[in-house]
Amino acid sequence: MLPLTRSPVAPISRFLCKSINNNSVRVSKSTSGEMAAERSRSIEQSRASLRLCNVSSFTTELLELRSENPLLHVVVIPGNPGVALFYKEFVEAMYERLGGRASVTGRKRVLCYILVFSGRAHFRNEEGIGLYFLQNWEKGRLFSLQDQIDHKVSFINQEFGDTEVPLYLVSHSIGSYISLEVFRRFPEKVKYCIGLYPFLSLNKKSSKQIIIGKIAGSGILSKLLSLVLAMFGILPMWASSFLVRTSMGKSWSTSAIEAVCNYLLQYHVMRNVFHMAMTEFQKLAEAPDWMFMRGKQEKIAFLFGSDDHWGPLSMFEEISKEVSDVSLSIENEGHTHGFCCTKAGSEWVAGHVVSLIEHQILPQ
C-alpha cells in the first residue's frame, strides 16, 4: 500500500486538514482584540487583483497579492488552460496563511508577494463578442508548450532578475513540468519548487487522455469544438453562467464559473488550449528528466491526488523509485485535479503548500 506522505512534514495530509485549513490557532484573551483589529486592517490586502503587463512584447494578465518588503516571492504557474482567475481563492488562502491576517502561535509571520499569471493568449478578449469573438490580442497566434516555458522564463528575468528575495515556484498540472524547466534556468534563484497534481508524463492507461489527444491532434476537431464553445460565449452572462454551473457542478466557486464564461468560451483561447495540449502530448511522451530531479531533489515537492489520470499514482511510485529524497504526498481528502475550482479544494491545498514553504524557511 502506498504511504500517504514521504516528506519531512509527515503526516502532512491529515494534520493540515484538521489544523491549518480549519484555522485552529490558539491566542490569549489579552491579544484577541489586537488580532481582530489586525484582521480588519489587512482584509483588503488579502484580495487578489488582476493587472496586465508586457512580457517580451506579449500582453500578460497577472493575478497578484503584494506585501511591503516581502521575505519571499511565490510565483504560481497554472496548468492548461493557463487562466489566472481559476486560482483566485487559492492564492488568497496562501496569502492569508503566509502574509497572515493573524500570527500563528509559535510561528513567525511571513510577508510574501504572490502572483499567478495567465499563459500567452489565455486571457480575456476585451475587443467584444458577437462577430468579433474570433479576434485575439495576439492576432491569431498559437503557442506551444515550449513557448509557454520561454514566456515564464522571460517573466522571471523581467520581474525578479535583480532581486535577492527567495523565489518559490508553485505549479499545477502541466505547470509542474514548466516549473521544473524554469528551475533548470534559475537554479540559484529558485529556493523551492512545488508541483500540485503534476502532469509530467503521458498516462497510456487513461482513456480521457487518449480522447483529448485525438481532439488536440486534429486541426478540424479542435477548430470545430472551439467554435461550438465560442457560440456559448455569445450568450448573456447569466445564461452562460447557468449552463456552466449546471454542467460543472454546484461546488464550483464563483471565480471558477467566471473564468470559464469570460475566458474559455472564446474561439482563440480554446484553439490555444488544444494546440498547447497537442505539444504537451508530444513532449511528455518522453521520460521525465530524472537526472535533473536527482540533482535538486531536496528542493522539489509533489502533491498527487488519489484518483487523478493526469498525475496517476504510478507516477508517484516512479518518482519515489527514481528520486528518493523528493518530498511526496498523496491527497486523500476528496479533492480533484481541478482543486482550484472549489473553495474547499483551494483552502486545503493552500494549507499543504504553506506547510511545505514554512518548513523551508522557519527554524526547526
Q: Closest by alpha carbon to 60, among 170, 147, 176?
A: 147
Query: Higher pLDDT residue, 32 or 278?
Result: 278
- Asked if the bond preceding 166 is cis, omega within 30° of 0, the reply is no
Least confident of 37-41, 231-235, 330-334: 37-41
Rounded to the nearest angstrom, the gap between the alpha carbon of residue 136 and the centroid of all alpha carbons in its chain is 24
Cα distance between residue 156 and residue 162, in whole Å: 10
Report helix, strand or coil for 157.
Answer: helix
Structure confidence at residue 61 (pLDDT): 85
- Give the position of cell 511591503: 68
Does residue 5 have a pLDDT over 70?
Answer: no
Does residue 326 have a pLDDT over 80?
Answer: yes
Strand partners, 49: 64
Asked if 274 and 215 count as a contact pair (C-beta separation under 8 A), the reply is: yes
Does residue 218 have a pLDDT over 80?
Answer: yes
Residues in contact with 68: Cβ distance below 8 Å, sequence separation at least 6, in sequence order: 111
Q: 3-state DSSP helix/strand/coil percent for the chain, to nearest 5?
A: 50, 15, 35
Cα distance between residue 343 and residue 3, in whole Å: 26
Element (H, E) at 62: strand 58-65
What is the DSSP secondary structure assignment for residue 107, as one 8-state letter?
Answer: S
pLDDT digits (tens, 9 = 90+) for 53-109: 888 778 888 888 888 778 889 999 999 988 999 999 999 999 988 875 444 333 345
CA triplet 86, 35, 11: central angle to 5 degrees? 55
Least confident of 45-59, 73-87, 165-179, 280-294: 45-59
Query: Higher pLDDT residue, 56 or 282?
Result: 282
Cα distance between residue 179 and residue 25, in whole Å: 32
Q: Across residues 297-323, what is the average pLDDT?
A: 96
Asked if 290 and 322 count as a contact pair (C-beta separation under 8 A), the reply is: yes
Alpha-carbon separation of residue 179 from 31, 96, 341 (angstroms): 41, 23, 21
Asked if 174 and 281 count as a contact pair (C-beta separation under 8 A), the reply is: no
- Asked if the bond preceding 70 is cis, omega within 30° of 0, the reply is no
pLDDT digits (tens, 9 = 90+) for 116-164: 866 554 444 443 333 233 334 455 688 999 999 999 999 999 888 888 8
Does residue 177 have a pLDDT over 60?
Answer: yes
Does residue 9 have a pLDDT over 60?
Answer: no
Structure confidence at residue 58 (pLDDT): 81
Average model confidence (pLDDT) across the chain: 81
Neighbours of 292 (CB within 10 A): 16
> What pTM was estimated for this model as a whole?
0.82
Least confident of 4-13, 87-96, 294-303, 308-317: 4-13
Structure confidence at residue 184 (pLDDT): 96
Rounded to the nearest angstrom, the gap between the alpha carbon of residue 179 and the centroid of all alpha carbons in its chain is 10
